Amino acid sequence: MASEATEKVHVLIIGSGPAGYTAAIYAARANMKPVLYQGIQPGGQLTITTEVENYPGYPEGIQGPEMMVHFEKQAARMGADIRYGLATKVDFSQQPYKVEIDEEKWIEADAVIISTGASAKWLGLESEQRLNGFGVSACAVCDGFFFKGKDVAIVGAGDTAAEEALYLSKLCTTVHMFVRRDQMRASKVMQDRVLNAPNIKVYWNTDTDEILGDKKVEGVRIKNNKTQETQEIPINGFFVAIGHQPNSDIFKGWIDMDETGYIKTVPGTTKTNLEGVFAAGDVQDKNYRQAVTAAGSGCMAALDAERYLTAKGLA
């Protein structure tokens, strides 16, 4: 680790969704001189979302990418040092903590805020990516409203898929639910609710073959993986609910996580098992995963970091 390639900063924020940018706003206003690295997807998951209607303060709604530009500009105006770059490795063996950027430069920091988010798991279809934001979504709570009174499909078999199918059933005419096996992984109570919902139609042993439509979702072709029979269903929205993957790999071995990789924080705080390292947003939240909750935890992380640095005499 060459010393000439090491830069010392006060507060380092890794990631640039609502959590990271909000942490930067609060940290900059508290004169903590935060440096934020945006990561591989500046703005996070909201940059692949079209209309956002449920974030307070935007009565007419706003496009996800535009909203993240607003967050970034506000953080920059407060004095945050926002940089493009990806955290590729960490060394949390001693303080100050060290974080490698783009496999070439090391940053030392008195406090670190991890806000690297989570990424939706996708089926891997070309049509799924092409129509993402044009009828394809990985968040029913975010986008279900746009399909009020329409027919939609959802793929998944766990509790999240069941919850989202039930949420959609309150808004949509029919919800077609595709399950790959002959049973669901969801808890018994959630399965019962889905199977008893009059407008949710469950298809067992079913794979999604293709999402149909040129500029927007118009239908879906499914295949029964036992009989190989295919079927086309007209729909307006296609929801993927096969899980999320927290972007936490580089912290493994240093930070306590659950079995799926979500960072564990002390309840009611953003504190991790390492003092001076805080986690905010979707990387530590598998329950809510909303822009507004991520922003709230970004605020908490900055306040927790400020209190930590003050107590250490480093503020």
Active site residues: 139, 142-143
Two tokens, residue 150:
């329409």
Degrees, nearest 5: CA angle 306-17-242: 125
Q: Which residues are within 8 A (CB) of 158 and not within 5 positions of it... i.e. 6 or more apart?
A: 184, 185, 186, 241, 242, 243
Q: Give the Cα separation of 312 and 315 in Å (integer).
A: 8
| Residues 137, 150: Cα–Cα separation, whole Å | 15
Using CA atoms in the order 39, 41, 43, 44, what is the torsion angle rounded to 10 degrees? Answer: -100
DSSP 258: -
Q: Name the residue among 286, 12, 252 with its Cα closest to residue 294.
A: 286
Quote the strand ranges of 15-104, DSSP E: 34-37, 51-52, 62-63, 81-83, 87-91, 97-101
Find the DSSP H helices in 111-259: 126-130, 140-143, 159-169, 188-196
User: Is the CB of residue 123 less than 8 Å from the CB of residue 77?
Assistant: no
Spatial separation of the C-alpha atoms in residues 24 and 78, rounded to whole Å:
8
DSSP 63: E
Query: What is the Cα–Cα distance from 161 to 209, expressed in whole angstroms?
Result: 19
Write out the two tokens for 124: 């891997």
Sign, CA torsion 24/263/190/152: positive
